[in-house]
Structure 1
């Protein structure tokens, strides 16, 4: 997910508000709608990542939905990590791609991981979370 309109503004003092950006990235509307239709509540918990991993991937036949859902899955994974792993925070690469920076300094491209999950089911979102939480 490239957010180019943030590029120039984020250089100005005081913008963007990290909490506001985190809320924007946490919206994941398509993923939340898909999950709700399947009876899965996305409450920003590790358990919700496990529940997502169990969804039947009916979206794989629709390229447009697959792409958007991959973005949302990655952003949702990042949201859970940022909200539950000490020292994790959102950052933007120079190309505008949101990534999660861990306390160790490691950057995690959650959007790429979300696309892989949406297209192939692996790596599982809960597995990625477990790897991050252990590091």
Structure 2
């Protein structure tokens, strides 16, 4: 993937055209879980179901590990990957807390209080200056 100016945003994987292409099959897998017959097939035999999608081994491993941030890094779209979380019984607010390495209550409080501070969170290059 070509390096882009927004790659310097810490903790953020921008879902752009490159990530969309990279994550096509991962996202097809995730969105397939919207149908009960597919959830049943995935639950019955996860490896067989994963084999139906031309994902990379890294993508498959991220699914197995439920490595939520890694899924985004590998081209997953948050709205599609949240289907996998829902499959596991994880509501979106809890998923966001997990991905932020926070408890549900701490995440909720942060959001009610206006979100994450921008200080030190605008660019990774800011970290090197401190």
TM-score by length of 1: 0.28
TM-score by length of 2: 0.29
Q: Which has the larger radius of gyration?
A: 2
Whose helix proportion is higher, 1 or 2?
2
Whose strand proportion is higher, 1 or 2?
1
